[in-house]
Chain A
Amino acid sequence: MAQVTLQTNGQVCPFPLVEAKDTMASLATGDELVINFDCTQATDAIPRWAAENNYPVTDFSKIGPAEWSITVRKA
Chain B
Amino acid sequence: MLISGLFVGMALGFVMQRGRFCVTGAFRDVWITRNTRWLTAFLVVVAVQSVGIFALDAAGVISLNSGPFPWLATIVGGFIFGFAIILAGGCATGTYYRAGEGLVGSWLALITYALFAAVMKTGPLSGFNTSMRSVTVEQSNFYSVLNVSPWIFVALLVVGVTLAVRHHLNKPRFKLAAPPASKTGLAHLLFEKPWNAFATAVVIGLIAIAAWPLSWATGREAGLGITTPSSNAVNYLVTGDPELVDWGVLLVAGILVGSYIAAKGSGEFRIRVPDAATVVKSLGGGALMGIGAALAGGCTIGNAMVETAQFSFQGWTALVFMILGTGAGARLTIMNRRSSSGSGPANVPARAAALS
Taking Cβ atoms with an 8 Å cutoff, the residues of A that contact B are 1-7, 10, 12-15, 18-19, 22-23, 25-26, 38, 40-41, 43-45, 47-48, 50-52, 57, 60-62, 64-68, 70
Q: Do B28 and A14 have beta carbons less than 8 Å apart?
A: yes
Nearest chain-A residue to B194 (Cβ)?
Answer: A44
Q: Do A4 and B352 have beta carbons less than 8 Å apart?
A: yes
Known A-B contacts: A18-B334, A51-B177. Give 20 more (CB < 8 A): A3-B354, A3-B355, A4-B355, A14-B32, A15-B334, A18-B338, A19-B351, A22-B344, A40-B17, A40-B98, A47-B176, A47-B178, A48-B174, A51-B174, A60-B177, A60-B178, A64-B270, A65-B267, A66-B263, A67-B270
Considering the complex of A and B, which 5 residue pairs feature the smallest CB-CB distances, nearest first? A51-B174, A57-B177, A66-B270, A26-B345, A47-B177
Q: Which residues of A contact B34 (CB under 8 A)?
A: none
Stretch of B99-107, B202-210, B303-311 lying at the A interface? B99-107
Task: Please report the total number of B residues contacting A with Cβ < 8 Å.
Answer: 45
Q: Do B275 and A10 have beta carbons less than 8 Å apart?
A: yes
Q: A12-B278, A14-B334 are in contact. Are A40 and B177 (CB under 8 A)?
A: no
Q: Which residues of B contact A2 (CB under 8 A)?
A: 354-356
CA distance A26 to B102 in the complex (A): 33
Interface flags, B161-178, vs A, CB<8A=1, else 0: 000000000000011111
Q: A18-B334, A22-B347 are in contact. Are A61 and B180 (CB under 8 A)?
A: yes
A37 to chain B, nearest CB (A): 11
Instruction: Name, among B28, B102, B268, the residue most crowded by chain A CB atoms within 10 Å (CB to CB).
Output: B268
Q: Which residues of A contact B239 (CB under 8 A)?
A: none
Q: Do A13 and B270 have beta carbons less than 8 Å apart?
A: no
A22 to chain B, nearest CB (A): 4
B22 at the interface (CB under 8 A from A): yes
Q: Which residues of B contact A6 (CB under 8 A)?
A: 351-352
CA distance A67 to B272 in the complex (A): 11
Q: Do A51 and B176 have beta carbons less than 8 Å apart?
A: yes
Other-chain residue from A10, A12, A25 in contact with B344 (beta carbon distance below 8 A): A25
B343 at the interface (CB under 8 A from A): yes
CA distance A68 to B268 in the complex (A): 10
Number of A-B contacts (CB under 8 A): 112
B78 at the interface (CB under 8 A from A): no
Q: Which residues of B contact A52 (CB under 8 A)?
A: 174
CA distance A57 to B180 in the complex (A): 13
Residue pairs across A and B with Cβ atoms less than 8 A apart, 25 shown, are A1-B356, A4-B348, A4-B352, A5-B353, A5-B355, A10-B272, A12-B90, A13-B25, A14-B28, A18-B338, A22-B338, A23-B352, A25-B344, A38-B270, A41-B20, A43-B194, A44-B20, A51-B175, A61-B179, A61-B180, A65-B267, A65-B270, A66-B102, A66-B263, A67-B270
Q: Do A62 and B174 have beta carbons less than 8 Å apart?
A: no
CA distance A4 to B267 in the complex (A): 27
Other-chain residue from B20, B105, B177 in contact with A50 (beta carbon distance below 8 A): B177
Instruction: Name, among A14, A23, A62, A67, the residue most crowded by chain B CB atoms within 10 Å (CB to CB).
Output: A14
B274 at the interface (CB under 8 A from A): yes
Q: Which residues of B contact A26 (CB under 8 A)?
A: 343-345, 348
Interface of chain B residues 101 through 121 with chain A (CB within 8 A)? 101-103, 105
Q: Do B343 and A22 have beta carbons less than 8 Å apart?
A: yes
Q: Which residues of B contact A40 (CB under 8 A)?
A: 17, 20, 98, 101, 263, 268
CA distance A68 to B340 in the complex (A): 28
Q: Which residues of B contact A25 (CB under 8 A)?
A: 343-344
CA distance A15 to B52 in the complex (A): 37
Q: Which residues of A contact B270 (CB under 8 A)?
A: 38, 64-67
